[in-house]
Amino acid sequence: MSATLQTILEHPDFPQRLAWWREDFGPEQAIIKEGDNARDLYLIERGVLRVNKDVEVTEERHMQSGLLELSAGDVFGELNLFGKATRSASVVAMTQGVLVHIDGNELAEFMDQHIELGYALLKEFFNRHAVALGYSNQRYSTIYARQLRQDDER
């Protein structure tokens, strides 16, 4: 877990039950659904979840691609914290576990009132997404190169 998020959760101006709470989850329980409008984010305390993206194979056929697995200490859902976009993927539980459900509106207000902590948290989110973007770029480059090799062989 990020040290900054832990500090925020322990801060007296960010009270449990109002700004955040714990939730149990079970296998195959949907935590986030792709396309939903929501600002809340989540911290996994225990358990494993999978991030899935709906992929259209044909007009009649769709599949869920497992993008990655999340486990204790991972945070997800933060992409919608400041925007009005819909959820870009679904998150489904693989095991039983516990997560911290953080009210996005309460967190945004807290970050506005506590600039130093807000900036530190945004910086952590940005750094994490920069690493993930680099990894995604490498994966897409590999897939593209593989397709070019197959095209050359034909």
Report the pLDDT value the prediction gives residue 79, as an integer from 0 to 100.
86
Report the pLDDT value the prediction gives residue 106, as an integer from 0 to 100.
97
pTM of the predicted model as reported, rounded to 2 decimal places: 0.82
Decide the pairing of beta strands 97-102 and 75-76: unpaired
Report the pLDDT value the prediction gives residue 30, as an integer from 0 to 100.
96
CATH superfamily for 3-153 is Jelly Rolls (2.60.120.10)
What is the tens place of the pLDDT at every residue in 96-134?
Answer: 999 999 999 999 999 999 999 999 999 999 888 787 777
**114 CB-near residues (< 8 Å, 6+ apart):** 8, 11, 13
**83 CB-near residues (< 8 Å, 6+ apart):** none
pLDDT tens across the length of the chain (154 residues):
689 999 999 999 999 999 999 999 999 999 999 999 999 999 999 999 999 988 767 777 766 677 789 999 999 999 888 877 899 899 999 999 999 999 999 999 999 999 999 999 999 998 887 877 776 677 767 777 777 778 788 7
Residue 28, φ and ψ in degrees, nearest 5: 70, 10
- Boundaries of every domain in the chain: 3-153
